Amino acid sequence: MSRNTRLPVFFRKLENVIVQLPMFGSLKTHNAAAHSFSESSVVSGAVAFWRRSLASAPELGPQPKKIGVKIDVFESGSVGGRLETVKMGDYEYEVGGSIIHPLNLHMKHFVDRLGMSPRKDVASKMAIFNGKELIFEESDWFIVNFLRFLWRYGFNLIRMRMWVESVLDKFMRIYQYQQYGYSFSSVEKLMHAMGETMIAEGFSQVFINDLVEPITRVNYGQSVRINGFVGAVSLAGAESGLWAVDGGNKRVCSGLLYHSKSELIPGKVTSIAVKVRPSKTGAASSFYEVNYAGEQGAAHALYDIVIIAAPLHSGLSDISFSGFSPPIPSHYPGRYHQTVATLVHGLLNVSFLGTVEPPSDFRVSDVLTTDTERSINSVSALDPVHIPPGYKPTTASHKKVWKIFSPEPLTEQQLKNMFLSWDSVSETRWLAYPAYSPPRRKTPPFILHNRLYYLNAVEWAASAMEMSAISARNLALLAHHRWHEQSEKIDQEDLHTRLRGEL
Ligand SMILES: Cc1cc2nc3c(=O)[nH]c(=O)nc-3n(C[C@H](O)[C@H](O)[C@H](O)COP(=O)(O)OP(=O)(O)OC[C@H]3O[C@@H](n4cnc5c(N)ncnc54)[C@H](O)[C@@H]3O)c2cc1C
Ligand SMILES: CC(C)=CCC/C(C)=C/CC/C(C)=C/CSC[C@H](N)C(=O)O
C-alpha cells in the first residue's frame, strides 16, 4: 500500500473488480490561448489578469487575426499558495495540499507536460484512534482486513466504494466537455453537468463513525455533515493510487507560470474598480483598474479581463471593489475552516495511542481519528517530497517527521503527551478550505461582473488542487467565449448524450 493510501488493503484489490473507469483520450487542448491561461491562473495561485486583447484560438471557430494576449499574475505571498513545503533537517515536506487522485487528469497532464514525475511510492499503514485506543489497525494481509471489515461493517465499505465510483464516473465527464471547449457560467451549472450528487444514504452509523468520519476529518478537518460531492471527494482522497509531485506539488505552479509566459508581479491586490472610457470609435468601453501594493509601493494597471484566483473570504484576500452595480462584496458569506499543520521531528509516544505494541513493532503511518477525539484530526508519518535512494520507512522506535492536523495550534502539553522527545517543530496555520457544515449556502458566482471572474467559487463544491484546475480551465473558456460572443459553447444542456458518439 502506498504512503498516501488510506483505505485498507483489501479494498485496493477489490477496486479492480468494481471500478469501471471511463476511457478518455489525451487532454490535448483545442484552445491554446485559453489553455495556457488556465494553467497560469490556477496554479500560480494568485490573481491573474488578462490584458488588453485576447489571442485568437483557431479551433474555436473562425478568428479574424492572431493578436497577442498579455497575462499578468499578481501574487502577495509565494507562488503555490496552499501548496507549500517546509524544510526539516535535510529534507522538504508538504504542509499544505499533498495528495493527488489518479483520476485528477489536469494535474497529471501538467506534470507530464512540464517533464516532472510523480514521487516514488512508500509503503503505508493506517489506523483509527478514538481518543483512547486504536479501534482499527490495518493488517499487511489482505484477507485479514477483508474479514475484519466484513465482520464489523458488512457490505457498507463495498457500497460506499461503489457510490464514490459513481460520483467520480460522472465527474470525469468534465474533461471531455472541456476538451470540446464547453464552459459553464456558474458552479451549480458545472456541477449539474457532472451529474447531481446526493449524499449517500443507508450506511450504518458504526461504519460512518469508524471510517467515513475519520476520513472527512483528515481531509477536510470536519464532520460528515457536508454535502454529497465534497463527501465523495474526501473519500476519493482515501483511495489507492494517490500520488504527489516529485520535489513538491508547488513545482507545478511555478512550472506552469513560467510555461505560460505570463508576468509575475509580486504584490497584493487591494482593490478593483470598473472604469468607463470613450474608445476610438466613440462608443464607451469599460476596463478594470487593479490597484495593488507592489515592491515599489502603490500602483495600478488597466485590464480587459480579470480573474480572481484567491478566496474572497475573511482573512484570505481582502480585495475591495468599487464602481460596480450591483456592488461586489469583499467577502462572500461563509468562512474558511482553520487547519493547523504541525510537523514534529521526534519520537512518537505510541502509548498515547493506547497501544501496548512496542515502538519497534509500530509501523502505522497514518492515524485517523473519530469524532470522539476532539483535539487532533490526524497524525501521519511524512516522507520527504523527494524520496532519496535507499529510503525506507522506519518504525516508531526511530525519530522521524510526523504531521499533526488539528483545529487549533497544539500546546506544549499536547506535544509532550504525543512525543517522548523532539528536535524541531514547525507550525503552519491554514484557513484551509470552506467550512462545509450546514447551513448550506448559495455558492458564490463565477461571473462577478461582465469580464470579472472568480475562480475559487468552485471550492464550495469541493476544495482540491484539481478543482481549482478545472475551474481555471472553465473560466479561461468562459472568458474566451463571452469575449467572442460564442454562446453555443456556454451552459449547454445534455452534453453527455450529445458528445457520446464523439470519442
Ligand atoms: C492543509 C491543507 C491540505 C490540503 N490537502 C490537499 C490534498 O491533499 N489534495 C488536494 O487536492 N488539495 C488539498 N488541499 C486543498 C488545496 O491545497 C487547494 O484547494 C488548492 O491548493 C487551492 O489552490 P488555489 O490556487 O485555487 O488557491 P490558493 O492556493 O489559496 O492560491 C491563492 C493565492 O492568491 C494569493 N493571494 C491572495 N490574496 C491576494 C491578493 N489580494 N493579491 C495577490 N495575491 C493574493 C495567495 O498568496 C495565494 O498564493 C489542502 C489544503 C490545505 C490547506
Ligand atoms: C477532485 C477529485 C475528484 C478528487 C480529489 C481527491 C483528493 C486528492 C482529495 C483530498 C482533498 C483534501 C483537501 C485533502 C486534505 S488532507 C490530505 C492528506 N490526507 C494529508 O494528510 O495531507
Residue with cell 485568437: 56
Of all protein residues, the one whose alpha carbon is nearest to atom 14 of ligand 2 is 219
Q: In this predicted model, which residue has the larger pLDDT, 139 or 458?
A: 458
Q: In this predicted model, which residue has the larger pLDDT, 162 or 61?
A: 162
- DSSP class per residue in 251-317: HHHHHHHHHHTPEEEEEEEEEEEEEEEE-TTS-EEEEEEEEEEETTEEEEEEESEEEE-S--STTT-
- Per-residue pLDDT at 500: 81
The type of residue at 487 is S
Our mutation pick for probing the ligand 2 site, out of 216, 219, 430, counting the most ligand atoms within 8 A of Cβ, is 219
Q: How far is the CA of 276 from the centre of ligand 1 (A)?
A: 33
Q: How far is the CA of 16 from the centre of ligand 1 (A)?
A: 32
Neighbouring-strand partners of residue 379: 367, 404
The type of residue at 192 is H
Ligand 1 closest atom vs CA 428: 1
Ligand 2 closest atom vs CA 341: 22
Q: Where are the domains of the chain?
A: 3-81+250-335+438-502, 121-239+337-434
Q: In this predicted model, which residue has the larger pLDDT, 459 or 63?
A: 459
Using 50, 70 and 90 to split pLDDT, how confident is the model at 285?
confident
The verdict on the CB of residue 218 being under 6 Å from ligand 2 is yes
The verdict on the CB of residue 42 being under 6 Å from ligand 1 is yes
- How large is the average pLDDT for residues 214-231? 86
Of all protein residues, the one whose alpha carbon is nearest to atom 4 of ligand 2 is 233
Using 50, 70 and 90 to split pLDDT, how confident is the model at 502?
low
Distances (CA, A) of 106 to 115, 168, 250, 465, 468: 14, 15, 15, 9, 10
Q: How far, in Å, CA of 193 to CA of 87, rounded?
A: 42
| Ligand approaching nearest to the C-alpha of 6 | 2
Lowest pLDDT segment from 47-51, 182-186, 474-478: 47-51
Q: Average pLDDT, whole number, for the chain?
A: 85
Q: How far is the CA of 456 from the centre of ligand 1 (A)?
A: 9
Lowest pLDDT segment from 153-167, 381-395, 417-431: 153-167
The verdict on the CB of residue 238 being under 6 Å from ligand 2 is no
- How large is the average pLDDT for residues 42-48? 39
- Per-residue pLDDT at 43: 35
Per DSSP, 461 falls in state: T
The tens digit of pLDDT for each residue in 191-218 reads 999 886 666 667 888 888 888 889 999 9
The tens digit of pLDDT for each residue in 424-473 reads 999 999 999 999 987 777 899 999 999 999 999 999 999 999 999 999 99
Q: How far is the CA of 111 from the centre of ligand 2 (A)?
A: 17
The tens digit of pLDDT for each residue in 304-358 reads 999 999 999 989 999 999 999 999 999 999 999 999 999 999 999 999 999 999 9
Using 50, 70 and 90 to split pLDDT, how confident is the model at 503?
low
Q: Phi/psi at 145 (nearest 5 deg)?
A: -60, -45
Q: How far, in Å, CA of 168 to CA of 206, rounded?
A: 25
Q: How far is the CA of 61 from the centre of ligand 1 (A)?
A: 34
The verdict on the CB of residue 97 being under 6 Å from ligand 1 is yes
Is residue 431 classed as helix, strand or coil in its secondary structure? strand
- The H or E element containing residue 93 is strand 91-94
- DSSP class per residue in 97-116: ---B-TT-HHHHHHHHHTT-
The tens digit of pLDDT for each residue in 13-43 reads 222 222 222 222 222 222 333 333 333 333 3
Neighbouring-strand partners of residue 288: 274, 303
Which of 25-29, 75-79, 148-152 has the highest average model confidence (pLDDT)? 75-79
Ligand 2 closest atom vs CA 99: 8
Q: How far, in Å, CA of 431 to CA of 414, rounded?
A: 22
Cell numbers describing residue 343:
510537523
Lowest pLDDT segment from 239-248, 325-334, 372-381, 433-442: 433-442
297 has a pLDDT exceeding 70 = yes
Q: How far is the CA of 316 from the centre of ligand 1 (A)?
A: 10
283 has a pLDDT exceeding 90 = no
Q: How far is the CA of 20 from the centre of ligand 1 (A)?
A: 31
- Per-residue pLDDT at 197: 66
Q: How far is the CA of 352 from the centre of ligand 2 (A)?
A: 27
- Provide CB contacts within 8 A for 344, sequence distance 6+: 401, 402, 404, 415, 418, 419, 422, 424, 425
Adjacency order of strands within the sheet including 378-381: 134-137, 126-129, 366-369, 378-381, 400-406, 336-348, 419-434
- How large is the average pLDDT for residues 386-397? 93
